[in-house]
Amino acid sequence: MSFRALVLSQAPDRRVTGAIEVLPEDRLPPGDVTVAIEYSTLNYKDGLVLTTGGGLVKTWPHVGGIDFAGTVEASDSPAFRRGDKVVLNGWRVGELHWGGYATKARVKGDWLVKLPAAISTKRAMAIGTAGYTSMLCVMALEKHGIVPAAGEILVTGAAGGVGSVAVAILARLGYSVVAATGRPQEGAYLMALGAKTIMDRKELVEAPDRPLLSERFAGLIDTVSGVMFAKALAQVKYNGAAAVCGLAAGPSFPGSILPFILRSVAVYGIDSVMLPKAPREAAWQRLGADLPLEKLDSTVSDVGLSDLMALAPKILKGEIRGRVVVDVNK
């Protein structure tokens, strides 16, 4: 038996090239569940792997793709049987382990989650790691006690994959969403997802001139970090919270501890990679119930494996709107 994969190689100058190859099944890595992959997706981290490796890949040649959805083909795990529809996010699949840019994967059963009946494999990848991360952010704000009546929720990087899904979920739950984007032309798209207000990123790109600005936001979902996070954090209300899940602008920010100790603002770090199975399953169940799937469809671009190398630089530059779903059989 064989399978088809986008196989990546890295040159001495760190430049990554990719070619679609047909490989024997014995090339699959160890694991107790074999999945016939139907769809994967393109995330920021995938863009790093596809262009330079991003320091994430240790062994070449490599198959990228940090998430996938498909059907169990064979299982030695008591948790899964042939025919189960499953999704995988994280566990450094697509980095240290071969990932979803192939028609088959072999992984540990502990890494898989059964899909809720409401979510097809294609929609699972329209959600993908980005949407799953968005749900974790929303759940963190809920855990903090932030309800729709508390006030506006700011979402940074709102036109991107994580941001788009966060806007849709929050709006569905009744929150008033302020969507910050550097692409004003995406305003109509974000309003259709449920945003109440569009904020030009220019309002957040200069570091705050003082550590506490006028209180505005009950909560914050930050996908960017850097100056934007610092400026937004300075405007979070007393006893508000920020869910932080991205670092497109880098890992550091010019901030102060004053929002934490004078306004009792809490920051929740969102790790979607190594999260234990129980909260993963809870997040996917919530996605099946609280994400307006009909709106999700409007965020999706459909591509094949052969399109990925050209798209990778674009996602790193913030030029991709919404979600990219990869049909691995195309």
Which pLDDT tens digit goes with each residue over 13-72? 999 999 999 999 999 999 999 999 999 999 999 999 999 999 999 999 999 999 999 999
- Is 303 contained in some domain? yes
pLDDT at 293: 86
Residue among 96, 95, 93, 118 at smallest CA distance from 35: 93
Q: Are residues 136 and 262 in the same domain?
A: yes
Residues 241-244: contacts with CB under 8 Å, at least 24 apart: 241/140, 241/141, 241/144, 241/146, 241/265, 241/266, 241/267, 241/268, 242/266, 242/267, 242/268, 243/136, 243/137, 243/138, 243/140, 243/141, 243/219, 243/268, 243/270, 244/268, 244/269, 244/270
Number of domains in the chain: 2
Q: Are residues 104 and 136 in the same domain?
A: no
pLDDT at 1: 86
Q: Are residues 137 and 265 in the same domain?
A: yes
Q: For 69-83, what is the mean pLDDT?
A: 97
Q: Are residues 106 and 162 in the same domain?
A: no
Q: Are residues 72 and 136 in the same domain?
A: no
**Model pTM above 0.85:** yes
Backbone dihedral region for residue 280 (phi beyond 0: left; psi -120 to 50: alpha; all else: beta): alpha
pLDDT at 206: 87
With a cut of 90, say whether residue 299 has pLDDT above it.
Answer: no
At 242, which CATH number?
Answer: 3.40.50.720
Q: Are residues 110 and 137 in the same domain?
A: no
Q: Are residues 233 and 203 in the same domain?
A: yes
Q: Which domain holds residue 51?
A: 2-115+296-327
- Is 288 contained in some domain? no
Q: Are residues 224 and 303 in the same domain?
A: no
Would you give the distance in Å from CA 63 to the centre of its chain? 19
pLDDT at 169: 96
pLDDT at 184: 86
Average per-residue pLDDT for the chain: 95
Extract the tokens encoding 158: 């709102």
| 269-297 pLDDT per residue, tens | 999 999 999 999 999 999 999 999 888 88
